[in-house]
Amino acid sequence: QVHLVESGGGLVQPGGSLRLSCAPSRSIFSIYAMGWYRQAPGKQRELVAAITSGSRTNYADSVKGRFTISRDNAANTVYLQMNNLKPEDTAVYYCNAKSAWGPDEYTYWGQGTQVTVSS
């Protein structure tokens, strides 16, 4: 019933920038990590960037130095600033959130937002 809402995707020229945003449609209890994945046609979904509630981050090697993930813990909102975009960044980008309480753990996904980098 709870889903993540993404925004900010679109068409951009190589070297351009986009900023993706993601937040739950309603409150999710005890989120401890959020992140962004992407999937291009014919390829597996891959982790792009992740951030914990303590603001520790991980990035795929292909985006280090170009992408920055950040979050607003109070709003459970995660952002992905994408700079110097390249054609190989073209993919559907999915927001992810993980929550846990005791023995129960849940993973939530957004519907995906298309990012297309082309001239």
pLDDT score recorded for residue 96: 95
Confidence of residue 59 (pLDDT cuts 50, 70, 90): very high
The pair phi, psi for residue 38, each rounded to 5°, is -145, 155
pLDDT of 60 over the 90 cut = yes
pLDDT of 87 over the 90 cut = yes
**53-73 average pLDDT score:** 95
- 75 vs 32: CA distance, rounded Å: 13
Q: How many CB atoms lie within 10 A of CB 19?
A: 14
pLDDT score recorded for residue 7: 96
pLDDT score recorded for residue 109: 95
Q: How many CB atoms lie within 10 A of CB 100?
A: 14
**53-71 average pLDDT score:** 96
Q: How many CB atoms lie within 10 A of CB 81?
A: 15
pLDDT of 1 over the 80 cut = no
